[in-house]
Amino acid sequence: MSNIKNIFSGVAWSLICNVTNAAYGFFSVPLLLTYFGKEKYGLIGIAISVNIYLKILDMGFSSGNVKFFSSYLVKNDYDGLRKLFQSSLLFYLVIAFVNALVLVSLSLFSSQIFHLSATDDEIFKQLIYILIITSFPVWGGNVMEQLLRSNDLVGWQQRILLLTKVAQLVVLFLTIYLKLNIISFFALNTLCSVINIPFYASRINKLNLGISFLPKYYKQAMAEVLPYCLSIFSFGIFQFSANYLRPVFLGMKLGLTSVSDYRVVEGIANLILILGSSFVGVILPHATKVRELGDKESEMKIAMDGTRYITIFLGLIVFGFTLSSKELIILYVGEKNAYLVPWLNLWVFSLLGLHNSALSSLVLVSNSLRTIIYMSAFSTIFSLTLAWFLMDSFGMGGVIISYTCYVVFQVAYYYIYYYPTKLKYNSFKIFTESFLFPIAVIGFIGIAVKWIFSMQVISNIWLLIIVKESVFALIALVVIYQFLFTKSDKEYIIAFVSKFLKKDLK
């Protein structure tokens, strides 16, 4: 029960934090686009994309450390925990230095790579310098976050992370109100990402785990975790490339305007991406402990129930978004950008691939990663090559088509080969019962509601969205409760609501 409460708390606070983050991304795009203009906002888009892509230098330690920290805690091996923490801290500081060197090198040739004017190139260089300065504390804070997650403190960690999101909202308001320039905005916004570090350090000290914040290299600790991390890195680099090289390709081939269009669609699609990705980080520590204890029954419960819950959650969001995608784009950036609607819908539907987040947690704690590396390499190289050529015909849409192909390849590989062969799961049962049936039910409701409202004329766009989404949500939630939730699910919901109401009445 304690584990269930920790998972629930972690997911709940991750969702709250990610909703805030998604809200920032959603509302900041049109505001900054209007305030700075498409060209200048495109500079921010490229700088952020390059910096995010450099997170691949993590080399799999973000997953590896959570796995091994969790394992050490189960075994009460605090000496191993301390040595891995100090070694990881040193590793991340070295990576921050490498990160800085890469960014400096990029700034030397930025005008040629992205075809920037002299003025834009000078601004871009200053944005890069800001990222270099903040890279050291940001990278160092990663290992603290990983240790907290391993201690089942995901909920607490997400509450602290919420402070950075709120701070970014304040910076956005001050930028518009005080008419700050692009450099000032970017500097303040980037500095918000380090305010959580003192809180992390304080909480770790209170755990009394014997942790030292002095970076130090322990060969044995690194030798134990490195092979697993390199396996994660080997396929992670391809996944990262498929996700984050797209706007860089757009900047190189089509210019800053296409990057801005991409960021508009991304601002909406990221609402789903951020929410859907909440589950892996929360489930991973528990999946590690289940695997460590050899609890096959709990492992299968994570696979079946986790996939079903995430599919239901994603189905509501995906079909809810596509139901009003045109209206959202018009409200978001104006009717002149309505040509982005088909690309938004395609991107949003591709995010249904996130339904296997629970299974991904189980994959990450397994040691059978070699074939995943090969498949990820093929999917990424094919996807990025396809994107480069499709941009000639479809413009910005080319990178979204290619990404959809990448997702289809990945999902098909896992269900057809990896889950049944390597993990010995009944992938057909998981796919049909935990994904296909729930998504078909929710999808049918979404299509029916869209068809009904296509015959109705509601002139007020806000009223149209509210009515459509309310009808969809009401029908979908009733059907989900009645047909997609198990008896134990319903009993838990009833007990939770009853407890909440009693507490509220007191």
Task: Report the domain count for the chain.
Answer: 1
Q: How far apart are CA 450 and CA 365, in angstroms?
A: 41
Within 10 angstroms of residue 446's Cβ, the number of other Cβ atoms is 22
List, for residues 128-164, the tens digit of each pLDDT value: 999 999 888 988 888 898 888 888 777 788 888 888 8
Does residue 170 lie within any of the structural domains? yes
Write down the pLDDT at residue 367.
Answer: 62
Closest by Cα among 446, 434, 451, 435 to 477: 446
In angstroms and rounded to an integer, the radius of gyration of the C-alpha atoms of the chain is: 23
105-109, Cβ contacts within 8 angstroms, sequence gap of 24 or more: 106/50
The Cα–Cα gap between 163 and 367 comes to: 36
Enclosing domain of residue 93: 1-227
How far apart are the C-alpha atoms of 266 and 416, rounded to whole Å?
30
The answer as to whether 233 is a domain residue is: no
Q: Which two structure tokens, joined as six digits, stand for 424?
A: 């010995």
Q: Is residue 235 part of a domain?
A: no
Is 156 inside any structural domain? yes
Contacts of residues 334-339 at CB distance under 8 Å and 24 or more positions apart, as own/partner, are 337/261, 337/264
- Rounded Cα gap, residues 363 and 228, in angstroms: 12
Element (H, E) at 180: none
- Characterise 156 by phi-psi region: left (phi > 0), alpha (psi -120 to 50), beta (else): alpha
Q: Which DSSP helix (H) or strand (E) runs through 426?
A: none
Residue 447's pLDDT band (cuts 50, 70, 90): very high
In the structure, what pLDDT confidence band is assigned to residue 127 with cuts at 50, 70 and 90?
Answer: very high
pLDDT for 77 equals: 87
Q: Is there a domain that residue 394 lies in?
A: no
Higher pLDDT, 285 or 490: 490
**pLDDT over threshold 90, residue 285:** no
pLDDT at 449: 93
Q: Is 358 domain-assigned?
A: no
pLDDT of residue 1: 43
pLDDT tens, position by position, 230-245:
777 776 677 777 777 8
Question: Which of 112-121, 147-156, 476-485 bottoms out in mean pLDDT, i.e. has the lowest?
Answer: 147-156
pLDDT in tens, 158-189: 888 888 888 999 999 999 999 999 999 999 99
The reply to whether 395 falls in a domain is no
Q: What is the pLDDT of residue 467?
A: 92
Q: Are 232 and 220 in contact (CB under 8 A)?
A: no
Q: What is the mean pLDDT of residues 432-442?
A: 93
Verdict on whether the full-model pTM lies above 0.85: no
Give the pLDDT score at 336. 86
Q: How confident is the model at residue 57 (pLDDT cuts 50, 70, 90)?
A: confident
Yes or no: say if 326 and 341 are a contact pair by the CB < 8 Å rule. yes
User: Stretch 417-442: mean pLDDT, rounded?
Assistant: 89
Burial (CB count <10 Å: 0-12, 13-18, 19+), residue 331: middle
Q: What is the mean pLDDT of residues 479-505?
A: 75
pLDDT at 400 over 90: yes
Tell me what pLDDT residue 444 has. 96
Identify the pLDDT of residue 255.
78
Q: Look up residue 314 and give its two tokens.
A: 């994603």
Look at residue 53 and tell me if it is in a domain: yes
81 vs 71: CA distance, rounded Å:
9
CA distances from 212 to 65, 83, 85, 157 (A): 16, 9, 8, 19
| Sequence-distant (≥ 6) Cβ neighbours of residue 105 within 8 angstroms | none
**Percent of the chain's residues with pLDDT above 90:** 27
pLDDT of residue 253: 85
3-class secondary structure per residue, 435-448: HHHHHHHHHHHHHH
